[in-house]
Amino acid sequence: MIRIWVVMALLAGGGWWAYQHYFAKETAVAEAAPGPQGPPGGMPVEAEKIVEQKLAREIIAVGSLRSDESVKLSAEIGGRVSAIRFTEGQAVERGAVLFELEDSVLQAELAQSRASLTLSQRNAARSADLFSKGLVSARERDEAAAKLALDEASVKLAEARLDKTRIRAPFAGIAGLRLISPGAYVQPGDTLVALEALQTLKADFRLSEAALSVVSVGQILNLEVDAYPGQTFAGKVYAIDPGLAVETRSIGLRARVPNAQGKLRPGLFARVKLIIAQKDQAITVAEQAVFPQGEQHFVYTIENGAAAMKPVGIGQRQDGRVEIVSGLKAGDTVITAGLQKIGPGAPVTAINLAAPAEKPKS
pLDDT in tens, 145-166: 999 999 999 999 999 999 999 9
Contact between 215 and 240 (Cβ < 8 Å)? yes
Residue 333 in contact with residue 49, Cβ under 8 Å? yes
Question: If pLDDT is split at 50, 70 and 90, which confidence band does 354 have?
Answer: low
As a dihedral over the C-alpha atoms of residue 307, residue 310, residue 315, residue 317, rounded to 10 degrees, the angle is 20
Q: Of the candidates 191, 189, 198, which has an alpha carbon nearest to the alpha carbon of residue 177?
A: 191
Rg (CA), the chain: 41
pLDDT(315) > 90:
no
List 273's β-bridge partners, or say none.
60, 222
Burial 15-40 (b: 16+ CB within 10 A, else e): eeeebeebeeeeeeeeeeeebbbbbe
Q: Would you say the pTM of this structure is higher than 0.85?
A: no
Q: Are strands 250-258 and 191-208 parallel, antiparallel or unpaired?
A: antiparallel
Q: Is a pLDDT exceeding 50 seen at residue 320?
A: yes
How far is residue 229 from each of residues 123, 203, 262, 288, 317, measured CA to CA in Å? 75, 18, 16, 25, 21
pLDDT for residue 71 is more than 80? yes
Q: What is the mean pLDDT of residues 179-206?
A: 95
Q: Tell me what the mean pLDDT of segment 229-240 comes to.
A: 95
Give the strand pairing for 321-326 and 306-318.
antiparallel
186 vs 330: CA distance, rounded Å: 72
Q: Burial level of 284, CB count in 10 A (0-12/13-18/19+)?
A: buried
Number of other CB atoms surrounding residue 285 within 10 Å? 21
Close Cβ partners of 61 (under 8 Å, ≥ 6 residues apart): 205, 206, 207, 271, 272, 274
Q: Would strands 43-49 and 348-350 be described as parallel, antiparallel, or unpaired?
A: parallel
Angle at 47 between CA 45 and CA 49, to 5 degrees: 160
Determine contact, residues 208/136, Cβ cutoff 8 Å: no
pLDDT at residue 7 greater than cutoff 60 = no
Q: What tens digit of pLDDT does each residue of 15-69 get?
A: 433 434 333 334 333 343 444 444 456 889 889 998 888 887 888 999 999 999 9
What pLDDT shows up at residue 355? Answer: 52
The pLDDT assigned to 283 comes to 86
Is there a contact between 136 and 128 (Cβ–Cβ < 8 Å)?
Answer: no
Among candidate residues 150, 158, 65, 79, the one with its CA nearest the CA of residue 111: 158
